[in-house]
Structure 1
Amino acid sequence: MGKRIYVEIPVSAPMDRLWHLTQDLSCHSRWDLRFSRIIPTNAAEPLTFRYEFRLPFHTIHGTGTSLGTRTGVQGHATSVLKFTTADPLSPIGPGAGYWRYVPDGKRTRFITGYDYSPGWGRLGRWLDAPLIRPALGWATAWSFDRLRLWAEEGLAPERTRNAWLLDAGARAAAVAAAVTLCAVRPGPAAGLAAGSAVAAACLAPARREVPRAARCLRRARDGKTGVAPSSLASLKEPA
């Protein structure tokens, strides 16, 4: 296990809507970049499910169990999860995590914390801290902002994904054009123009419909939200 991944975002939407978009598995896989498909395997509690993550030439399969609870004081809610996979190509192995729903005035603080054992054997342990764990943290935060846009503004996850792809493509094209300019016409003027183009590509604010991981907090604001609910310890292990 490494440093736990923590992500938090405020969502200005009713709790019922946020609960539905996160607890309904067909909705969950639409906004969460970490899953391509989630299939329930029972209708009882705790819920058991299979999940898929599609790569270009392979689909990673795994299983999980989860339990959501809305009986907390002052409208608080929690959801806990355990997951595992036997797929040798998965960069992550068995793990566990939680969601917290914390009312905050007219908003809800939507929070996750999770950890896992690296996959890929010794190579995975070596790559986890510098590469895999930061990439998963970014994917989680980006997904949380995509969820926020869906819950607050009704923007479908497919639309916001496409908006992000167009935005990223435009920024990449600006950087490529700047590099090409320096190569074709070297000199101070070209360097200044190229630097300005790169700065604009990196610093220009994204449109409101473009999900951004930077809109999320990556550290717990208090001791309670950074700790898993007690129900996680008693949740059964996935098959």
Structure 2
Amino acid sequence: MPVPAKAFQRWLQGVAPSASMADISRISGIKRTTLAQQLVRGKVAESTLVSVSRAVGINPVTALAVFDTFADLRREPPLPRPEELVSQIATTDLLHAVIARSIPDDPGAPPAPQPPLIPAPHTTSVRNWVDAIDDGELRHRVSAATGIAPQNYSAQLTANRLTPELAIATAVAAGVAPTSGLVATGLITEEEAGWAPDARQRALARLSDGELASLAGDRLQAIGRTLRRQEQDHERTEKIWENLG
């Protein structure tokens, strides 16, 4: 949920008292017209707050926690669960790991260096994260807590997106760190959430060969279903155009 413009301006006055709006626009990379429009409308987007906080050298989590909308960020977050970390590993990296583990080790050779993982988020980060923390009733709890209709919540997940407010509500309902949802949505980085630099890599290394192969297979099946739906939609569109002549 966007933060109130007046509250944003008070916060900005406290962290950058000598900076003009032109200065803020320049150092944050936000267009002056965009910032001005948000202030006039009385609502400043979370992404704007995050960009400005980075520009003035403040961790976005600290900045967001100032506002009542994000009060859940004020408490000390628990460490991300291993399944959350794995959910933020791209399918490409999982497949690379499967291939690497399938190559027989050479006893005389040094261990092969591990390539860096693709930074989070990836193309299915949100869906994977929710699936990783869902105990079967999570969607119902989020719906009851926020008032969002289950079908609307599911539609956001299908589109691989969640508003910051819903991401935090989902994390709270699952009993995990609210920052994890913000990483999955791409609002903040792993580092800003307090994740160790190699946290995802270590979570990947802890997967057994069977767990890794099963997870990679599940991801490929999900990609296959998505591609089939897209192909079917394309075919239907083509038929409609053909009938229209």
TM-score (norm 1): 0.23
> Which structure features the higher share of helix residues?
2
TM-score (norm 2): 0.22
Larger Cα-atom Rg: 2
Structure with greater contact order relative to length (CA < 8 Å, sep ≥ 6) = 1
